[in-house]
Amino acid sequence: MTEELKQYESTIKKKISFGWTPKFEEEFRTQMNKTVFFPIAKEIIEAIGWDLVFEDESTLEAKQRAEGFHWGQKITIKYQLGKVIVDSKSNQSPLLDFGRNSKRVKLFIYAFQNSEKSYDKKSLQELEEKTIKANNLGDYEIPETLPQPQKHTKPKSWIPLIGGILVAFILGFLIAFMTVKVTYVIGIYEVAIGFLIGFAFKYLIKLSNYTNFDKLNYLLLGVVLITYLLNQYFLYLLIVSENNIDSLGFFNFIQLRFQEGLTIKSMNTGWIGLVLSWIFQIGFTYRIAYIQLVSNLTQYQLEKVPMEVVDFAYYHFVKGKDESGVRKELESKGWSNIKDQNDAFEAIEAIQEMQELNRMD
């Protein structure tokens, strides 16, 4: 961020926002058309130090990463026929933002309007021509040759299935053992288990060359559920073993857990608290593991296909060719195998999925 922007930021009068996800919104008008507005807005986002995570024909989204005790933020900029709406909201914030959202919104508006003054008619026309050319990939040069497809083993769905079940057994026992021998720290364990499941899936995907996202996602949910179900069973075995209770069955153990409920410090929340804690365990762990799955899967899909091939296929899509037309273009460059062509299409989708992942709160 420039010194001028830093100085202006320090003078902004804060407006505190309240809410489950506090936000602040302000609008202004600009004489710029949509074509030139977006490249200038993106320059401002970069100048302020935000990360651009999404853009379409009418919207830009940026994020400010969490620093210290500050929560992560999402800034949305919408253009509607000369009207610009700037919105900043606090992700996962505890009810109030202490005015930080208002500072972000006002800082962007100030920086944009200052930049807008520096453009005359000629420079705006040049920017418009440059933007149209870039949007249409006018600078792209079709290569004479493309890197040839890599040889990959046939996808094996049984590898992530068997591997996922083994991971569930190991983690189910580990949680039970740590709970009995140490203690259970809610929140910390879920994050750790989510990352470990995601880490395991990363190598199971590479080992199996299996990239069907929908089926992997169902398997991931199953692994999380089995992990916590086995956790209860291993917890039962450890408690019975340590206390020499031979007459207590597993279902009686679960029944006793419901009767005892969940005690947080000195407060017993009953069976409702226990059930809610289990729902939190499963949901939070799955969310962490899901993010890891999407990230690892898209990364693997991009590794399989050289970026030159991805750019080549994407260029022909932008130029209006349908899937069969793009397949013919790929075939003319040596990518004649349908599976290799599908890998190229999956890589394009992976880039879009990565963008969606970056947008997640």
For the stretch 214-262, pLDDT in tens is: 899 999 999 999 999 999 999 998 888 888 777 788 888 888 888 887 7
Say if residue 224 is in the same domain as residue 299.
yes
What is the rounded average pLDDT for all residues in the chain?
A: 87
Say if residue 270 is in the same domain as residue 312.
yes
Check: CB of residue 95 under 8 Å from CB of residue 18. Answer: yes
Domain membership of residue 10 (yes or no) is yes
Say if residue 318 is in the same domain as residue 191.
yes
Domain membership of residue 149 (yes or no) is no
Single pTM value for the model: 0.71
Which pLDDT value is given to residue 70? 44
Check: CB of residue 269 under 8 Å from CB of residue 262. Answer: yes
Say if residue 162 is in the same domain as residue 259.
yes
- Per-residue pLDDT of 140-160, as tens digits, reads 889 999 999 888 788 899 999
Residue 181 has pLDDT above 50, yes or no: yes
Of 135, 169, 194, the residue at which a domain comes to its end is: 135
Residue 98 has pLDDT above 70, yes or no: yes
Q: Is 29 helix (H, G, I), strand (E, B) or coil?
A: strand
Which pLDDT value is given to residue 71? 47
- Which carries the bigger pLDDT value, residue 50 or residue 187? 50
Total domains present in the chain: 2
Residue 13 has pLDDT above 50, yes or no: yes
CATH of the domain at 38: 3.30.310.80
25-29, 115-119, 245-249, range with the lowest pLDDT: 245-249
Say if residue 126 is in the same domain as residue 164.
no
Say if residue 167 is in the same domain as residue 287.
yes
Residue 138 has pLDDT above 60, yes or no: yes
Q: Which residue has the tokens 């986002």?
A: 45
Domain membership of residue 151 (yes or no) is no
Say if residue 207 is in the same domain as residue 293.
yes
Q: Is 40 helix (H, G, I), strand (E, B) or coil?
A: helix
How many whole angstroms separate alpha carbon 348 and alpha carbon 338?
15
Q: What percent of the chain has pLDDT over 90?
A: 47
Say if residue 207 is in the same domain as residue 311.
yes
Closest CA to 2 of 114, 97, 101, 99: 114
Q: What percent of the chain has pLDDT over 70?
A: 94
Q: Which residue has the tokens 């073993």?
A: 241
Closest CA to 110 of 247, 206, 9: 9
Say if residue 124 is in the same domain as residue 230.
no
Pairing state between β 23-29 and 263-264? unpaired
- Which carries the bigger pLDDT value, residue 16 or residue 74? 74
Which pLDDT value is given to residue 19? 65
Of 135, 169, 198, the residue at which a domain comes to its end is: 135
User: pLDDT category, 68, cuts 50, 70, 90?
Assistant: very low
Say if residue 125 is in the same domain as residue 164.
no
Q: Which residue has the tokens 């026309």?
A: 125
- The separation between CA 70 and the C-alpha centre of its own chain, rounded to angstroms, equals 19
Which pLDDT value is given to residue 94? 60
Which pLDDT value is given to residue 69? 41
> What is the span of the domain harbouring residue 89?
3-135
Q: Is 173 helix (H, G, I), strand (E, B) or coil?
A: helix
Residue 285 has pLDDT above 50, yes or no: yes
Give mean pLDDT, residues 311-320: 91
Closest CA to 173 of 227, 252, 246: 227
Say if residue 110 is in the same domain as residue 193.
no
Taking phi over 0 as left and psi of -120 to 50 as alpha, with beta for the rest, 137 belongs to left
Write the DSSP assignment of 97-120 as a string of letters: -TTHHHHHHHHHHHHHHHHHHT--
Which stretches within the chain are classed as H helix? 3-11, 34-48, 100-117, 121-135, 158-181, 188-208, 213-243, 250-260, 270-304, 307-318, 323-332, 338-359
Give mean pLDDT, residues 182-202: 89
